[in-house]
Amino acid sequence: MNEVSFKNRLGIFLVLAHFGILTLVVVLWLNEYYLKEQMTTAISIIAPFFATYTTAIIKYMISGKNQRGGRGRVLSEGFVFIGFLVPLLFVSFVASAVILKAYNIGLKDFEDFKIMLGTAETIFGVYVGQLIFSLFEQPKAAEKPEDGGAR
């Protein structure tokens, strides 16, 4: 898989996951699986987790809106695997916490739920952050790669 294609797929996945999980929380609240205070607290915790990454991704997507044909370097299979696995685990962890709390399975207490989210951030935050910023942060003018990357 080439770099641009990987970036696009990963970026779209994380943006969808971000808004998907927030929508999930709201839908669960509407169905009385969360109280209003719990819903707002959950959103205020979850939103910043993803916002850091999605901001970089959306910025990248916007800057590359007129992109034509550039495919970037070919990525190793190992990198592609890790590149998808870590964000996928992160998203699954957060989504699971949201669903488990909604059904009071394992997380009977809202404090446990908050701790679970904090744990997710601790475990995955560093890896996802490194991955996302290395891929999506705009290189400074002096450091622009030869092939141009996303334009």
Partner 1 sequence: MKTTILLAAQLASLLVAANGVCAEIETVRQVDAMSLEEIGTCSLALTGWIERAGLGDKLQVLQVRRARHPDPAVGASTLRLELRWMTEAETWEAAQGEYGAFSDSFVKSNGDAPTERLFYKLVQTCKVPTAQASAHVHVLDIEYYSYLNASGSLFSGSSNRRMTVAKAAVPAPAPSANVPVPALTRCAKTRVNGGNVPLLRVQEVIKRYFEPRGTFSALEMDGFSLHFKVRGLRGEVLHDHRYWENLEAVLFITSDNGQKLLQLNLDGGFAAGGGNTPPAATEFVNMEQAHSKELQDYASKFLLDLTPKLEEGMK
Q: Helix crossing, 3-30 with 36-63: angle to 10°?
A: 160
Site string for partner 1, 106-145 (x = CB under 8 A): --xxxx----------------------------------
28 vs 86 by CB, closer to partner 1:
28
**How many whole angstroms from its chain centre is CA 78?**
20
Binding mask 71-90 for partner 1 (x = CB under 8 A): --------------------
CA dist 92 → 8, 22, 55, 84, 88 (Å): 20, 13, 20, 12, 6
Nearest CB to partner 1, comparing residues 6 and 34: 34
Which region, judged by CB under 8 A, interacts with partner 1, from 15-23, 57-65, 83-91, 101-109? 101-109
Which of residues 12, 30, 105, 126 is near partner 1 by CB under 8 A? 105
How many chain residues touch partner 1 (CB under 8 A)? 15
Interacting positions 18-37 with partner 1 (CB under 8 A): 29, 31-35
Q: Is 149 exposed, middle or buried (0-12, 13-18, 19+ CB in 10 A)?
A: buried
- The 3-state secondary structure of 90-110 reads HHHHHHHHHHHHHCCCCCCCH
Residues that bind partner 1 (CB under 8 A): 29, 31-35, 38, 102-105, 108-111
